[in-house]
């Protein structure tokens, strides 16, 4: 894999993403990204909890090599708003074989404010 080409893309995606402390103004129909760390740790994977006013348009996994040579993964969610308003987006970090098990720190809630 060509890391020299992927790294700038990764940085661009991080700067374009919405986080818990973001003040980026979002408008109806605009796509936005949320990046969550720790994808794949212990077999757990981040999942977006469906919301009728916010649709998931894409998701992808980004890996980066740590100093010890192991990979560390993040999950990028690409979302789009259908309607203006304030919404609490939920993300659960679950295992496919035990989706009801949600450990401490494995539930993220992010509030987004969508303007017309």
- Taking the CA of residue 55 as centre, how many other CA atoms within 13 Å lie in the half-sphere pointing to its CB? 7
pLDDT at res. 10: 47
pTM for this one?
0.75
3-state secondary structure of 25: coil
Reading the block at residue 40, the tokens are 């794949």
Reading the block at residue 31, the tokens are 């796509």
CB 91 within 8 A of CB 100: no
Place of tokens 């494995």: 106
Query: Is it the case that residue 21 has pLDDT exceeding 80?
Result: no
3-state secondary structure of 70: coil
> Which band of pLDDT confidence, cut at 50, 70 and 90, is reported for residue 43?
confident
Cα-atom radius of gyration of the chain, to the nearest Å?
A: 15
Domain ranges of the chain: 3-115
CB 92 within 8 A of CB 47: yes
As its CATH architecture, domain 3-115 has: Sandwich (2.60)
pLDDT at res. 7: 52
> Which band of pLDDT confidence, cut at 50, 70 and 90, is reported for residue 86?
very high
Mean pLDDT value across residues 68-93:
93
């Amino acid at each position: 894999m060509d890391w020299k080409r992927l790294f700038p893309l990764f940085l661009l995606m991080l700067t374009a993403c919405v986080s818990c402390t973001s003040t980026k103004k979002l408008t109806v129909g605009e796509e936005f990204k949320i990046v969550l760390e720790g994808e794949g740790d212990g077999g757990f994977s981040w999942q977006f909890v469906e919301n009728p006013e916010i649709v998931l348009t894409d998701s992808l996994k980004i890996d980066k090599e740590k100093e010890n040579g192991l990979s560390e993964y993040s999950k990028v969610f690409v979302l789009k708003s259908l309607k203006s308003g304030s919404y609490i987006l939920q993300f659960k970090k679950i295992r496919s074989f035990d989706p009801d098990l949600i450990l401490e720190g494995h539930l993220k809630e992010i509030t987004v404010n969508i303007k017309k």
